[in-house]
Structure 1
Amino acid sequence: MDRSCIWVLPILILFILPRSNSEDVNVLNALVRFMEELSAGNSQNIQNWGWDKNLDPCNGNVNFNGTWKGVDCMKSQNVRKIVLDKFNLTGTFDAASVCTAKFLVVLSLKENTISGFIPKDIRNCERLRHFYVSGNRFSGVIPDTFPQLRNLKSIDISDNYFSGELPADMSRISGLLTFLAENNQLSGEIPDFDFSYLKEFNVANNSFSGPIPDVKSKFGADSFSGNPELCGKPLSKACRPSKTGLKHSSADRFLIFSGYIILAVVVLLLLALYLIKKNKPKEESAKVVVTKGRVANASKEHSSTSSESKTGGNRSEYSIASVEAGMTSSSSLVVLPSPVVTGLKFEDLLRAPAELLGRGKHGSLYKVMFDNATILAVKRIKGWGISAADFKRRMERIDQVKHPRVLPPVAFYYSKQEKLLVYEYQQNGSLFKLLHGSQNGQVFDWGSRLNVAASIAEALAFMHEQLQEGGIAHGNLKSTNILFDKTMEPCISEYGLIVAQGQDQPFLSQSDSFKSNALGRDGAYSTFKVDVYGFGVVLLELLTGKLVQNNGFDLASWVHSVVREEWTAEVFDRALISEGASEERMVSLLQVALKCINPSPNERPSMNQISVMINTVKEDEERSIISEPLSGHHALEKPNSH
């Protein structure tokens, strides 16, 4: 064959085969529209910057070696970072177009002269973590859809002409680290941000009014100066009592006195009913049965053994086992201080409709709904050998040690055979459901998974430190016990429910292989080290997206075997690989997980050490997104001509 044909063939293949862009054609067209709007139709600039739908912003082009200026895919196949600072942009911001890039995590348009407003379509940038538009001419209000960006870590809208009030839900972006809005025309009250997490905050030189929220002594007067109507710490201007409150104080006093009178009448009526009831013949003790859909009293003779009613066939059981007689007294239910339930009585639980959510070897979980729209989750445990005094002491101690990422019980009930724990119902489900069930369009990318790992590690480390002396660990940590609150922040549920006959007894619902691995081969026993093992398995779920146990498959054993064969990359969830998650940082988190599931419990790190390691990975991730140099940033300025 002619030697020239050998060279011609590959070139022909390159032109004949369709070129595979890393981004969808629709995304590329939308990004070009975004740049056209920003540059006010200046096609020359767009051409000079290489924003061409026929060029691949991530992989370059067979005929052209450059990339789109200001765009970085961060070694992935999708646009993840757009930085157009000081580009002399004079147009408007087309959020609908730029947000078609579904993997976008950084958008920076600082120090241009962009005008107009931020459209509501900004909510479609679901993975966006860093949003910088300072030093422009933006105006109008911050859209009420902005707080829907739950992954945001940094917001800089300073030095613009924004006006109106900040959305009330802004404070629900609970993972926010930076909020800079100085030198605008914003008004109204400052939302109650989670200042315990914020590292940078500035709203100086606006028109904010009213009291300043509790900033946890983290920010000084400079962050709030230039707002004449603001008051309270850290400013020297004290807040005055409300005039409205003074004006209506007499009316309030009248209402209070009236309330006392009504309360006294109600108490007298209840006392009279009690005396009448007391004189009636005593009825047989009633047992309490939770039937499918409703908790009810079942009048039966007292029996020392409990029975469970079942539905026919192969269907799941729908009723809680009959509990000990005498459980009808509302005084048996201990209600802990909580804003969730006030005045909850045991009779309320009995009367409210209940739905069975799950049943395990040692207990069941029910969703209980009340007429006032309150929804609670009731955990019922049987076979838990602990005295009433120890049980009460344990629950009260857990309630005292509060962490925002640990779900506390709001009430509990004790009897010899039955224990009930009452929690606020979390409607966004569990980590297990998010990883292995239908996500319903929810984004669960690498950044979100890393945030879950860091949050749970920090919360567990805090609980271990505070409850070390009492020996109260979780004992049953798994992905089904990690729930998501209304802001989609993770929280640990069912903390400290594992105790039997004076000794911690973990794994009420775990497999035998899990128990064996968690306890370790050297026989060392500590429920705190068992928690570390359980957390390590949760990390493996986050990294692999695989079930812990499935038809003989054991996740921890499988990961060990893959790593041993030096095929580490095969461990990671394909969804993470396709989004371009950093393999380096995934490997770092995998190394933490492997330390946690060490066969020797004594060799496992403490949760405090684990939290530090994961936060280091998280900080590296944040640093890489913000400061990693744009690959090919200047390549288009001097294109190759060969």
Structure 2
Amino acid sequence: MSLKPIWVFFIAIFLFLLVANSEEEEVIKALVTFMDKLAPGNVPRDPMWGWNLNSDPCIDKWHGVKCYSDNKYVKSVILEKFNFGGVVDASSVCIAKSLRILRLTDNILHDSISEDIGNCQSLTQLFLSGNQLSGDLPISIGKLSNMKRLHVSDNHFTGELPNMVHVSGLISFFAQNNNFTGEIPSFDFSNLDAFNVSNNNLQGQVPDVKGKFHEDSFSGNPNLCGKPLSQECPPPEKKDQNSFPNDLSIYSGYLVLGLIVLLFLTFKLLSKLKIKEKALDVEKKEMAEETVSVAGKASEISNSIVSKNGTVIRSECSLTSLESGMTTSGLVLLSSRTLRGLQFEDLLGAPAELIRRGKHGSLYKVMLDNGVLLAVKRIKDWGISKQDFERRMNLIAQAKHPRVLPPVAYYCSQQEKLLAYEYLQNGSLFMFLYGSQSGHSFDWRSRLNVAANIAEALAYMHEEFLENGIGHGNLKSSNILFDKNMDPCISEYGLMMAENQDQLVPSHNKGLKSKDLIAATFKADVHAFGMILLELLTGKVIKNDGFDLVKWVNSVVREEWTVEVFDKSLISQGSSEEKMMCLLQVALKCVNPSPNDRPSMSQVAVMTNSLIEEEEKSISFDT
């Protein structure tokens, strides 16, 4: 049998795959049209130039075109100093949805830029300087949220500058030497590194540029005033004195209306105070009866706590209990044999050390008489009933997982809620990332192990509470503790409900159905876990609820400078960038702005476990 047909078959398959992996035919046609209008009658016919329907921009390497590493999609079009005298056909070039950079500087292009430029949603850099373009800049430019650099200087543009207030990542804006009019619109000057609107016909006061730009950025606009220009703005015009009677009648009307509203509010407030006074009288009677029944026990409670260095400090818990008339016999023991017989009085009277105060309460390290160390959380401002709290704590104590720290005891009254855990002395993930835990190595393998263990534990808890909808609610690196074997444990599970506004707070969304509430609660935990992954990978502290960190990571990834994301200590250890990138992709899925698009914790656990398995295979292969 001849081998020729076989070779022909394989060659055909190869060519088919090449075509399948290249840009779509529609994009190729659009780019050829773009070039025909850019250089009408002047398109080079050299085969090396490309830009024709018989070739592919990526595979055949069209002149001025760069593609992504997979050789499938166009990333940039850079055609500078070719004396092209046509127009910029935005409707055609924006068919290439993946286009990030369009650079056409120093040609002789004319006419205006159409609103179709707004379809280039991936565009990060637009360079049109040094041409003969005219007309107004399209409003749609201000909607290109990914834009980093916009340069349109040395043209004949007219009209007002585009409003770029929604383009928070803008780094440079050059519009000098044009015919722009109107006032300078809002820019996020804190992020801008370069800015120039000199030699136009702009007017009005220069906005606050945060001291970053000087006079040369605004000069050549005779009607501009204010710092950093030497020309001061004129004082506001004084009102015509004849308008005073009219103004007086208007202000009098406002004053009368304000007095009516004030009287109405005062009446309502007095009514509420009367109702509250009646309620307090009833409550005081009930408290008095309760206090009498426990007076013998209450007198035994210590009013002070001895700190670690031997000094005496006042106990918030005992002070609160004495002042509020709280009962002292309601300590509930859950799971620890070492605490058998422990009374509430023993807990309050034990030496204690304040570890930290937070938005949700205070955390103490308490040493009991038998030497057992407890971490005691005093919870404040949690609008949950005594019955719901007790039910919640009992459920959490029953859901046992080795990587979730269970509560060992709790106390609950209408005025006070205390929760006790085993005290783990090896610190938190937060301390390992940002503190002085110098005795332990925290390399890539250790961080991946933390991620996989926490993901698996959180997935287990979500499965256990699928019907009850009890999520962690406050997952963060300071709530990931290390036991005596340096294994990570989740602490304070279920103490709070998610509070970030983008995470659908259960306690504030009464209109949601129960299933939607449960889903929202768990998706909030997924987001929090994603933030922990970003901390593990970047080594950066979370601020502003993590919005700044997520925004920064996304911007760096979009610019394909991904290596800049990772913690420098991981890079110096020679950690695999490919594997870190895989975990970063998991993190970005978890912090997706849309809760419905985030994976479940079970799916996240599968992803992190697969990374652990790959790591173990590579280690065994190396050895």
TM-score (norm 1): 0.48
**Which of the two has greater helix per residue?**
2
Greater relative contact order (Cα < 8 A, sep 6+): 1
Higher-Rg structure is 2
